[in-house]
Amino acid sequence: MNSSYNKLVQNLEYLKLKQMMIHLDETIDFMTNNQLSFTDTLIKLTDYEIDMKEVNMVKSMVKVGAFPHLKEIKDFDFDFQPSINKQQILDFTTLRFLEQKENIVFLGTSGVGKTHLATSIGIAAAKKRTSTYFIKCNDLIMNLKKAKLENRLETRLKHYAKYKLLIIDEIGYLPIDAEDAKLFFQLIDLRYEQKSTILTTNASFRTWGDIFQDTKIANAILDRVLHHATVVNIIGDSYRLKDHFDKDNMSELALTKTVKFFRSYGLKCEKKLVEEWLNATSTTKDSSHQVGDDDLYEFNDWCRMKGTAYEEGIDDQTKIARLLEEVNRLKSEIAVLKKEKEQLEDRLGVTPF
C-alpha cells in the first residue's frame, strides 16, 4: 500500500497534477469514510485540478484583456451618479448584449465613470471566458497605422476584429486625421453586426465629424456603431473631483459655523485665524462637528501658543529656532531687570553683598 501510494504520488508529480497531489490524502480519507466508489473518488480528485485550471484560466483571460485596472461593478457607487440606470448596467454584465452583437457607448464628461463601467463589463466578460480586449482609441489607431506601414494591416485588422468584445476607450480625446479615420472605419465595419464593441467618449456625436476630420467617414462610423447600440449618456459630476468638492464645502461650512459661535461669545476673532486653526485641527473637525465651549478654549490655547516653540504641528527645526529666540528674549529681559535693580540700588545707596 505504502509503495503503491508513493508510486501514485510520483505519477501525479510527473503529470504535474499538483492539486490532485495536495488533496490526495483527504480524498482517500473521504473515500474510506463514505465508502465512495472508485469512479466517484476519481471525479472528486480530478475536480480539484479542474477548479484550479478554471481559476487560472479566468485570471489569464482578465490579464489578456489588458484592462487599465481591475475595478468591477461592485466598486461603482451608483448613488454618486444618479443619471445612470443601475439595472441597465447590471444587465450589461449578464452579457446578453454580446449574444445580440450589440454595442454600448458610454458618453459623458471627464471622470463620470465611463472607463470604470466599460472595464467592469469587460472583466465580467473575461471572467466568463469571452475573448475581450481593452484599448485606448489613440493606441488602436497608432497600431493600425504602424501595421499599414509594415504592410500587415489586414492581419492587424483581423486581430482586432476577432475579439468577441472590444473596448475602445477615449474616442475624441485626441484628433484623428482623415487617413487614420479610414483605418478606424475599416475595423468598425469588420465588427459591424458580427461582434460587440464598447466605446467611451466625451464628445457628443455631433462633433465626431471634427474629431475624424472627415464628416462622411465620421457618419459612416457612427451609423454602424449606433445601428445596434445602447448609448449610456452620463450626466453628472466628476468622481475624481468629488473629494475636493466635499472638502471645500465641508471646510466652508465648518468655518462659518465656528466663527459665528465664537463671535456669539464676544470673541473678536478674525475669520482667517479661525480658518487656520480649523485647518490645523482638520482631522478632528468637519461640517458635522458641533462647535462648543471646548472649541473656544482650544482656540484660545492655540492662539496663545501660535508662533511659540509650543505650537502644535511644527517641526523640530522650527521648535529649536523658536526656543533659541525665547532664550535670547529671556536673556535680554534678565539684562534689563538687572540694570533696573542696579539703578535702584545706586539710588538707595544699597551696597550689594
Ligand X SMILES: Nc1ncnc2c1ncn2[C@@H]1O[C@H](COP(=O)(O)OP(=O)(O)OP(=O)(O)O)[C@@H](O)[C@H]1O
Give the type of residue at 182: K
Q: Does 81 bind Mg ion (CB under 5 A)?
A: no
**Alpha-carbon gap, residue 258 to 277, rounded angstroms:** 10
Identify which of residues 240 and 263 has a Cβ nearer to ligand X in the complex.
240
Residue 67 CB, shortest distance to ligand X, in Å, is: 12
Other CB atoms closer than 10 Å to residue 249's CB: what's the count? Answer: 11
Candidates 108-116, 171-179, 292-300, 343-351: pick the segment binding Mg ion (CB under 5 A): 108-116
- E strand map for 172-300: 196-201, 229-234
SS3 call for 289: coil
Give the type of residue at 269: C
Identify which of residues 81 and 258 has a Cβ nearer to ligand X in the complex.
81
Q: Does 192 bind ligand X (CB under 6 A)?
A: no
Between residue 82 and residue 141, which ones bind ligand X under the rule CB under 6 A? 108, 110-116
Identify which of residues 236 and 319 has a Cβ nearer to ligand X in the complex.
236
Q: Does 202 bind ligand X (CB under 6 A)?
A: yes
Record the cell numbers describing residue 253, joined without a space: 461650512
Residue 230: strand pairing partners: 104
Q: Which does 71 bind (CB under 5 to 8 A by kind): Mg ion, ligand X, none?
A: ligand X
Q: What is the H or E stretch that residue 169 is in?
A: strand 165-171
Q: What track of x and - describes contact with ligand X for positions 293 through 332 (by CB under 6 A)?
A: ----------------------------------------
Identify which of residues 109 and 264 has a Cβ nearer to Mg ion in the complex.
109
**Alpha-carbon gap, residue 35 to 40, rounded angstroms:** 10
Candidates 27-35, 68-76, 121-129, 143-151: pick the segment binding ligand X (CB under 6 A): 68-76
Residue 236 CB, shortest distance to Mg ion, in Å, is: 14
* Phi, psi (degrees; rounded to nearest 5) at 119: -65, -45
From the list 12, 45, 48, 81, which residue makes contact with ligand X (rule: CB under 6 A)?
81
Q: Would strands 196-201 and 103-108 be described as parallel, antiparallel, or unpaired?
A: parallel
| The residue to which cell 461669545 is assigned | 265
Other CB atoms closer than 10 Å to residue 120's CB: what's the count? Answer: 22
Candidates 107-115, 267-275, 279-287, 298-306: pick the segment binding Mg ion (CB under 5 A): 107-115
From the list 27, 93, 115, 201, which residue makes contact with Mg ion (rule: CB under 5 A)?
115
Report the half-sphere exposure of 339 (CA within 13 A, side-chain side). Answer: 6
> Under the rule (CB under 6 A), what is the footprint of ligand X?
71, 75-77, 80-81, 108, 110-116, 170, 200, 202, 239-240
